[in-house]
Structure 1
Amino acid sequence: MTQPKNAKREHWIAPWDAKNPDKLPDPAAFMLLGLGITSIEDDTDENTDDYSDYAGDGNTASTLTSYAEKWNYSGRNVTEDPAQTLIRKMKRKPNDDDRRLWHAIRFTDGTNVVGVAKAMEIKAGSGDSSDYEEFSGHLDYDGVPQDATIEGSKKDGLSAITLGVTPPGKPSAPTNAAAVAQAGGAKITAK
């Protein structure tokens, strides 16, 4: 039985362009969110509505009414890290567009997702005087992230991202069909 370590799951972020909101950046623009980060946790919100009607047997059933994928991160504030710097610069931005970035995840089972997210509740530099500065917050996807094939490595960076494609034999995550159609399943390769 394989039991992967959390450090094998990769979280990559890249700047988002408000003038081209649906255009995926060059894969080389993605930065690994890892240096100084000691914990990344899935904090997805699912809201349900419980109901029962006379067509049923009297027991309640639950219906999913909304889904919001969110990833909490925490660790040490590393001022030289470009991924942390991208997020840190968003701290005092008062609107959604200034907080948006691309968030790509490579899961340990081989599935990958990419989507636009907002950096929220950013803390960069807090704690007791004898402690290292804290760096924490969460990345909240705008909608459901898209399936993708992501090529590259932690050492060399990302080299290609193909939207709307899941590697053969791997389970598929929910997709945003309109965004996949707009992207045309295009492969974007680093220059």
Structure 2
Amino acid sequence: MKKMKNALRKHYIAPYDPEHPDTVPEESAYLWIAKGVKESAPENDEDTDDAAYFDGDGTPEEIVISKKRGRSFEGHRDYGDAAQNYVADLEDAIGDELLCWYKEVQADGKQLKEGPARLSEIEIGDGEASEFESIKFKITWIKKPTKKAVVSAS
């Protein structure tokens, strides 16, 4: 089994156009979330219910009713990075101002997930005086992302 480092998983963010909510952004609109980012973690929130059925032995099954998926990011603030600046510009935004597009390419580069999302939990500048300024934020898809194979540009 081939193992891959987390750094090979690519994350991108692009502006959301409320007048064309289902139009996937052009590749050139996507900004790579990487510079200064030290950590990334899945953010999953599921609503579940338990049910037991007569075709079983009466043992309840956990059924997933709904699911929110996304990712949190944390690292050092870099004022020269376009993706970080995009997020930082929305630090005081609320509601639909926080809508964006989020794309995640798996580490082997063969498949991606993409869809409209929402930024939240934007925090900039935390820590001791001797530390580098930080940036933290979360991106959550607002509906099930589209999965597709990555097509190489060759």
Scaled by the length of structure 2, what TM-score is found?
0.92
Hey, what does 2:107 align to over in structure 1? Answer: 108
Q: CA deviation at 1:25?
A: 1.7
% identical aligned pairs: 26
Q: What's the CA shift string for 1:36-58, capped at 9, x where partnerless?
A: 00011112122221122444312
- Asked if the contact 2:42–2:70 (Cα under 8 Å) also holds between the matched residues in 1, the reply is yes
Cα gap change, 1:12 to 1:150, in 2 (>3 Å)? farther
Hey, what does 1:16 align to over in structure 2? Answer: 16
Q: What's the CA shift string for 1:79-124, capped at 9, x where partnerless?
A: 11000111111110121x2001111111024221111111100011
Secondary structure of 1:87's partner?
helix
Q: What's the CA shift string for 1:3-50, capped at 9, x where partnerless?
A: 110000000111111111111122111111000000111121222211
Hey, what does 2:127 align to over in structure 1? Answer: 127
Larger mean CA deviation between 72-81 and 39-48 belongs to 39-48
User: Whose RCO is larger (CA < 8 A, sep 6+)?
Assistant: 2
Give the distance between the partners of 1:3 and 1:118, measured in 2 at CA. 31
Runs of 4+ in 1 over 6 A off after TM superposition: none
Hey, what does 1:74 align to over in structure 2? Answer: 74
Hey, what does 1:90 align to over in structure 2? Answer: 90
Q: CA deviation at 1:136?
A: 0.5
Return 5+ residue gaps in structure 2 as ranges.
none
Hey, what does 1:56 align to over in structure 2? Answer: 56
Give the distance between the partners of 1:92 and 1:151, measured in 2 at CA. 37
Hey, what does 2:98 align to over in structure 1? Answer: 99
Return 5+ residue gaps in structure 1 as ranges.
153-158, 160-191
Instruction: Number of aligned residue pairs: give it.
Output: 152
